[in-house]
Amino acid sequence: MTANTNANRFSSYTNASTGSDSKNGGEQKKDMWSTLLDSVASGKRLLEKNLLVFGGTVDSQRDFLESLSSQDQRRILDRGNTKLPQVANNFALGYTYYDVLDADQEDILARISTYTLTSPSPAFSTLLQPLLTPQSIRNTIIVVLLDWSQPWKWMRQLRQWILLLRTVLVSLSNECKETMEEVMLSWRDRGRQGGTNLDGSGAAAASEGDVALPLGPGEWEDALGLPLCVVCQNAEQMEVLEKTQGWKEEEFDVVLQFMRTVLLKHGASLIYTTPTMASQLQSLVHASLGIHSLLKKNPLKHNVIDRDKILVPPNWDSWGKIRVLREGFDVELVSNGWSVDLDQPLPKPSTNGLENGAATNGDSHEETDGDTSDPEGSTVVLYESSVQDPAMDALALASQNSHSTKLEVETTETQAFLAEQLQYLEVLKQKRDAAAQEGRKGARKTEDGESGVYITGRAGEGRVNEHIGPVQFNMGGIQVDADDMVQRLKDRQTFGASPEPESPPPDSRAIDANMDPENMDSEKMQEFFNSLMQKGGR
């Protein structure tokens, strides 16, 4: 009875409660649980960030990704996860990803999806459009890779990538464009409002009454719609430029001034990296994507003094700071010239691979050699005149562009000239070796006869005499020395060539020197010749 009473009480209580608010109470409980579940799910949801890497080569892009994720990937390996994502960037638009770990190596802060592209061909613009949506634009940053092995190409390469990016952004929907405007406004105010910095430090000091500082000249005049970071790789090549090209501090300062002036118009950041040296690359990229560690702060420190460790964060630079680096640099001229460059259409690059989405696993493509579309006042032209390519001869270019009589002498390249001379030296060496071989063969020739040994060849005469000694042979029972006989013959020829004094013939007293031969007596002549014959017989 008691059990039934309790059961009835429980049932009546339940029925009463559910009967009164069956509709409103159920909806409130459902909303409460959905809210709790959504909050827990959002707390555990992994942040998705996008990184668009433009420029460089297949190898340089992999070096960049390795330096950007080396620490996090090492931590993942230590935790036992040996399956690392592969980098697929050999063809057209490449892709890979990596996870960003917190300082305690336990929590994953975000996953960065990386898209790579080596060629600024307009054919690849259709591949970039699907990557930019209203949701992904807020979590996307663009990185342009440049290489210190060819600094004279930087301005032209940067112009190509920005023109390609512009063609992509213009073709997006109105919703995407509105999102990009919001992103650029918030990005422009970072570091200018109440101490809020790029790395998140000082954010607590910001308040609603804070007012953003006014922009200086040349700042944010051409916002792209997405954050931009330029990475100049292989800064160790500066020493090579000093040794081989004779670069000095002035050349390095001019390059830095050009880059800072141009990037200031887009609110972009700049960093120099070296593979063997630690840098702030990881902190800069992660802070630009809004990824901050909850345990350890990594504040960004600008550096414009160490030439191989340059770091210019966004919203830090100005025309005044650029002028201080080197006097005589016209910041306004360079800034206005860059606006002229960006008003030009996207030039068609020369194809080292296949057209329209084909393989681009070689070097990044450059503009065609015959491209003369640089406008007047172009910053690219001004930069290339200040930072000249050592492979281009100014006299050769002047002779090609002029139609007058050529007064210049075209010289052969040093290596080609030396290679041609090497061929001539090889021919002369072969002839000399052949002559020496013939001389050795002549020295070895011997002829055995009845009179002994006969030796020919001047080259081996001294060597033969040293080995066999003096040559002797038997002549009529008399042992004769060949060397002595040869020397006597030489002396006789020498004396025979010189005039000898006339010696009186035997019995010259029988002949009168003053006697006329016509009047000589025949009997006396016969007697004279008979006496000669008798002497010859004895």
pLDDT digits (tens, 9 = 90+) for 220-245: 999 898 999 999 999 999 999 998 88
* Dihedral angle sign, alpha carbons of residues 89, 93, 99, 102: positive
**Helix H or strand E segment including 142:** strand 140-147
349 closest CA partner among 365, 370, 369, 373: 365
Residue spans of the domains in the chain: they are 42-198+216-394, 438-489
Domain boundaries 42-198+216-394, CATH class: alpha beta
pTM of the model: 0.62
- Biggest CA–CA distance in the chain, Å, is 204
Do residues 141 and 285 make contact, with C-beta atoms less than 8 angstroms apart? yes
**Which parts of the chain register pLDDT below 70?**
1-30, 37-44, 70-84, 103-106, 191-212, 348-372, 393-409, 442-477, 480, 495-521, 533-538
Secondary structure tally for the chain: helices H, strands E: 17, 11
Q: Which two tokens stand for residue 190?
A: 């970072």
CB atoms within 10 A of CB 443: 18
Cα–Cα distances (Å) from 409 to 389, 392, 393, 414, in that order, read 21, 16, 12, 15
Asked if residue 311 lies in contact with residue 235, where contact means CB atoms within 8 angstroms, the answer is no
Instruction: Label each residue of 238-275 as H, E or C.
Output: HHHHHHHCCCCHHHHHHHHHHHHHHHHCCCCEEEECCC
- Is residue 375 a contact partner of residue 341, using CB atoms and an 8 Å limit? yes
SS (H, E, C) 358-419: CECCCCCCCECCCCCCCCCCCHHHHHHHHCCCCCCCHHHHHHHHCCCCCCCCCCCCHHHHHH
Distance of alpha carbon 119 from alpha carbon 134, whole angstroms = 26
> In which residue are the tokens 């118009």 written?
265
Element (H, E) at 101: strand 94-101
In this prediction, residue 385 carries a pLDDT of: 92
Quick one: three-class SS letters along 162-206?
HHHHHHHHHCCCHHHHHHHHHHHHHHHHCCCCCCCCCCCCCHHHC
Give the pLDDT confidence score for residue 380 in this predicted structure.
Answer: 94
Q: On the CB side of 327, how many CA atoms lie within 13 Å of its CA? A: 0
Encoding tokens for residue 450? Answer: 């009845």
Task: Enumerate residues 6+ apart whose C-beta is below 8 A from 471.
Answer: 452, 453, 455, 481, 482, 483
Answer for the pair 85, 96: CB distance below 8 angstroms, yes or no: yes
Between CA 349 and CA 299 the distance in angstroms is: 40
pLDDT at position 523 is 75
Q: Could you tell me where the beta strands, DSSP code E, fall in 409-464?
A: 446-449, 452-455
Of 357, 356, 281, 355, the residue nearest 312 (C-alpha)? 281
Of 239, 238, 268, 269, the residue nearest 255 (C-alpha): 238
> Which candidate, 408, 256, 267, places its Cα nearest to that of 334?
256
The three-state DSSP-derived secondary structure of 5-40 is HHHHHHHHHHHHHHHHCCCHHHHHHHHHHHHHHHHH
pLDDT, position 194: 45
